[in-house]
Amino acid sequence: MTRRFLLGGALIAVSSVACSNDQTQDTRSTMTQREKDSTLANSQIPGAKAVKKAFTTADSATARQNRIDSAQNNP
């Protein structure tokens, strides 16, 4: 009898996790890779500072390239 309750409880737990997990994945899939990485960069986990520095460097390079492109277009 105890095994039935354990088996029933396990089945309920698995089914509830499976149902709730689909909703979480839908929310995550709407985030862009940049948004996911930005969330990571602002966290306290190890390596987050490196991600933030990489974003800063990439943004700086993009801004520099845009300035160069606009200077070439408008001499």
DSSP string, 35-66: HHHHHHHTSSSTTHHHHHHHHHHHHHHHHHHH
Whether 11 and 4 have beta carbons less than 8 Å apart is answered as no
Please give the average per-residue pLDDT across 19-24, as a whole number. Answer: 52
Please give the average per-residue pLDDT across 43-58, as a whole number. Answer: 91
Q: What is the pTM of this model?
A: 0.51
Indicate the residue type of 36: K
Q: Among 28, 56, 52, which residue's Cα sits nearest to residue 41?
A: 52
- Domain borders along the chain are 1-30, 32-75
- How far is it, in rounded angstroms, from Cα 72 to Cα 46? 41
User: pLDDT-based confidence at 21, cuts 50/70/90?
Assistant: very low
